[in-house]
């Protein structure tokens, strides 16, 4: 498996510094948060996109995915959601990234059934155009669809390989699923995996990997036993928790922790 980290952990950091941190700490790639407060987002010009590609290529690093914020299960206009996804998939194509992250966001829907219907309809509509660009749209296990069973309930009916799932191991755990059960639900759709650690279900402040309660060893063991060989991306949510320790000082130990777990599960 290849290791990456998300720029959510270093919000607003210039791309040369992101690349330096990844290269110096032994990571293979980076997930880019695509928000207007970040260096790269759908409003970035072609020159900025080309410069980013050259920067990562020169360092021997990959851009794993573009983490966007469309909410596919939310009430509202389909056209606006699909336009947002289209802009993100075009950005991903230009950056050579294989994935775009979207959220469910169905908590405000009149019913769970309507949230599911929204997600199925929009994911099905986005899948073909994304696949034509060489990009896969991944629904993160999050908020209204936090478990593997929740995500599979909409991905199956969406019925297209151009969509899949981003397994956030914290949310499936918070939803009460065992890692083996989450993987069984998500395996047909799995794009990549976000790892993290937290103190407890009541305190989700990000911690160094291995310092909290999330079953990372069990998750990686499940993946290894299944022969899965994709990306593990450390999403350290420093943007939302200013009290969290700075990510740069944790990166090397985090890589070592994941490497040990992978070796133990081999």
Please write the tens of the pLDDT for every residue from 110-155.
999 999 999 999 999 999 999 999 999 999 999 999 999 999 999 9
Which residue stretches of 161-250 are H helix? 169-174, 179-186, 216-225
Helix 15-24 vs helix 46-58: angle between axes, to the nearest 10 degrees?
Answer: 20
- Tell me which DSSP letter residue 243 carries: T
Rounded to whole angstroms, how far apart are CA atoms 233 and 61? 14
The DSSP code sequence of 124-176 is HHHHHHHHHTT-EEEEESBTTB-SHHHHHHHHHHH--TTEEEEEEHHHHHHTT
Rounded to whole angstroms, how far apart are CA atoms 159 and 123? 9
Structure tokens at 118: 């929204």
Task: Report pTM.
Answer: 0.96
Structure tokens at 162: 């151009």
Helix (H, G, I), strand (E, B) or coil at 202: coil
The per-residue pLDDT for 150 is 98
The per-residue pLDDT for 4 is 98
pLDDT at 212 over 80: yes
Residues in the chain, overall count = 266
Cα angle value 163/169/170 (rounded, 5°): 120
Q: Which domain holds residue 70?
A: 2-265
Q: At 159, is the pLDDT very low, low, confident or very high (cuts 50, 70, 90)? A: confident
Q: At 265, is the pLDDT very low, low, confident or very high (cuts 50, 70, 90)? A: confident
Q: How far is Cα of residue 251 from the mean position of the Cα atoms in its chain?
A: 18
The per-residue pLDDT for 264 is 86
pLDDT at 91 over 80: yes
Contact 95, 64 (CB under 8 A): no
Cα angle value 60/220/92 (rounded, 5°): 40
The per-residue pLDDT for 12 is 94
pLDDT at 105 over 90: yes
Contact 223, 184 (CB under 8 A): no
- The whole-number average pLDDT for the span 70-89 is 98
pLDDT at 266 over 80: no
The total number of structural domains in the chain stands at 1
Helix (H), strand (E) counts: the chain: 9, 8
The per-residue pLDDT for 22 is 98
- Of the candidates 201, 215, 208, 195, the one whose C-alpha atom is nearest the C-alpha of residue 252 is 208
Helix (H, G, I), strand (E, B) or coil at 112: helix
CA dihedral 40, 13, 32, 147 (to 10 degrees): -130
CATH number at residue 160: 3.20.20.150
pLDDT at 27 over 80: yes
Q: At 73, is the pLDDT very low, low, confident or very high (cuts 50, 70, 90)? A: very high
Helix (H, G, I), strand (E, B) or coil at 73: coil
The per-residue pLDDT for 160 is 84
């Amino acid at each position: 498996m290849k290791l990456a980290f998300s720029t959510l952990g270093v919000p607003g950091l210039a791309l040369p510094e992101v690349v330096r941190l990844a290269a110096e700490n032994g990571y293979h790639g980076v997930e880019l948060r695509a928000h207007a407060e970040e260096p790269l987002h759908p409003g970035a010009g072609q020159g900025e996109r080309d410069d980013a590609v050259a920067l990562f290529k020169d360092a021997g690093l990959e851009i794993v995915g573009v983490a966007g914020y469309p909410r596919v299960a939310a009430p509202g206009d389909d056209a606006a959601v699909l336009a947002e996804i289209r802009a993100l998939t075009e950005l991903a194509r230009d950056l050579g990234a294989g994935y775009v992250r979207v959220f469910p966001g169905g908590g405000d829907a009149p019913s769970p059934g309507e949230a599911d219907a929204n997600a199925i309809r929009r994911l099905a509509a986005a899948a073909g155009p994304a696949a034509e660009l060489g990009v896969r749209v991944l629904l993160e296990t999050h908020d209204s669809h936090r478990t593997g069973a929740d995500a599979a309930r909409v991905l199956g009916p969406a019925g297209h390989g151009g969509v899949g799932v981003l397994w956030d191991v914290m949310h499936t755990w918070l939803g009460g699923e065992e890692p083996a059960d989450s993987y069984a639900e998500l395996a047909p759709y799995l794009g990549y995996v976000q790892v993290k650690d937290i103190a407890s279900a009541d305190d989700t402040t990000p911690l160094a990997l291995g310092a909290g309660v999330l079953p990372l060893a069990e998750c990686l063991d499940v993946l290894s036993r299944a022969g899965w060989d994709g990306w593990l991306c450390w999403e350290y949510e420093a943007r939302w928790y200013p009290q969290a320790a700075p990510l740069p000082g944790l990166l090397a130990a985090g890589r070592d922790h994941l490497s040990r777990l992978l070796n133990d599960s081999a």
